[in-house]
C-alpha cells in the first residue's frame, strides 16, 4: 500500500494523505512524475508496462512514470522511480521538471534527461517494466495510433521531443539562451 501526499490548488502540501488508487478528495491534488530519457540520436527511451499492472497493462509509455509517495519532493520521486524501474541512479539535485501538466486530480512533472544508456545494462523492475527500446517521435505516434501506447496527446509528445534537444525534424536544436528578468 502506497501513501501519497495531498496538495491544494497552489501546489502547497496540506498535511493530508491518501492511499494511492483511492479517489482524490475534492479540492485536493496528487503529484505524478515522468522522466523522458533522450539519447544522442534524439530518440526517447520507452518502456512497455507489465501485463499485471492495474492500469495501462502491457502498453508502451515514456521512459519512467509514477506517483510520488508521502514525504517525496518531485525530484526525490523522480530519482526513486528511475532507480526502481530502470536501475539508473541520476542526481536530480540540479534538475527541475521541464514541463508540468495539470490534470483533474493533480499535476504531472515531466523531467527530460539526455543520456545514452545501453539497453542491456538497464535493470528493469519486473513488477513494472517488461521491455524497453528507443523510439523516434513517429514511432511513438504510430504506437499511439495503434492503441499500443498510453494515449497521450500528440502535442505533448511533440513538446517532449522538442525539449529532448532536437527539433521535430530531427535536427539538433541550439541551446536556449539564459533569460534574465
- For residues 44 and 83, give the distance between their C-alpha atoms in angstroms, rounded to a whole number: 18
Q: Which three cell numbers stand for residue 167?
A: 527539433
C-alpha separations of 89 from 71, 86, 165 in Å = 20, 9, 21
Q: Is the pLDDT of residue 3 over 80?
A: yes
Q: Which three cell numbers stand for residue 94?
A: 540540479
Spell out the residues 6+ positions from residue 100 whose beta carbon is closer than 8 angstroms to its own.
Answer: 107, 108, 109, 110
Q: Which helix (H) or strand (E) covers residue 156, if one does? A: helix 154-163
Nearest to 124 by CA among 59, 48, 175: 48
Q: What is the pLDDT of residues 57-109, one digit of tens each?
A: 999 999 999 999 999 999 999 999 999 999 999 999 999 999 999 999 999 99
Q: Is the pLDDT of residue 168 over 80?
A: no
3-state secondary structure 93-106: CCCCCCEEEEECCE
Q: What is the pLDDT of residues 136-147, one digit of tens each?
A: 999 999 999 999
Angle at 91 between CA 86 and CA 93, to 5 degrees: 140
- Please answer whether residues 102 and 95 qualify as being in contact, where contact means their C-beta atoms are separated by less than 8 angstroms: no
| Domains of the chain by residue range | 3-163
- For residues 15 and 49, give the distance between their C-alpha atoms in angstroms, rounded to a whole number: 32
Q: Is the pLDDT of residue 174 over 60?
A: no
Residue keyed to cell 491544494: 8
- 3-163: which CATH number, 1.20.1270.10, 3.40.640.10, 3.90.79.10, 3.40.50.970? 3.90.79.10
pLDDT of residue 165: 56
Amino acid at each position: 500500500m502506497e501513501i501519497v501526499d495531498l496538495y491544494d490548488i497552489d501546489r502547497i502540501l496540506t498535511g493530508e494523505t491518501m492511499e494511492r488508487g483511492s479517489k482524490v478528495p475534492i479540492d485536493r491534488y496528487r503529484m505524478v512524475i515522468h522522466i523522458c530519457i533522450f539519447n544522442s540520436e534524439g530518440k526517447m527511451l520507452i518502456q512497455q508496462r507489465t501485463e499485471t499492472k492495474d492500469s495501462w497493462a502491457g502498453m508502451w509509455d515514456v521512459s519512467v512514470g509514477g506517483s510520488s509517495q508521502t514525504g517525496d519532493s518531485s525530484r526525490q520521486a523522480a530519482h526513486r522511480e528511475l532507480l526502481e524501474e530502470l536501475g539508473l541512479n541520476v542526481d536530480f539535485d540540479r534538475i527541475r521538471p521541464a514541463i508540468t501538466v495539470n490534470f483533474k486530480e493533480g499535476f504531472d512533472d515531466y523531467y527530460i534527461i539526455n543520456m545514452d544508456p545501453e539497453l542491456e545494462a538497464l535493470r528493469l523492475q519486473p513488477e513494472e517494466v517488461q521491455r524497453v527500446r528507443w523510439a523516434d517521435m513517429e514511432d511513438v505516434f504510430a504506437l499511439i495510433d495503434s492503441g499500443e501506447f498510453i494515449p497521450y496527446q500528440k502535442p505533448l509528445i511533440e513538446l517532449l521531443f522538442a525539449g529532448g534537444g532536437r527539433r521535430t525534424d530531427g535536427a539538433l536544436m541550439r541551446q536556449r539562451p539564459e533569460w534574465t528578468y
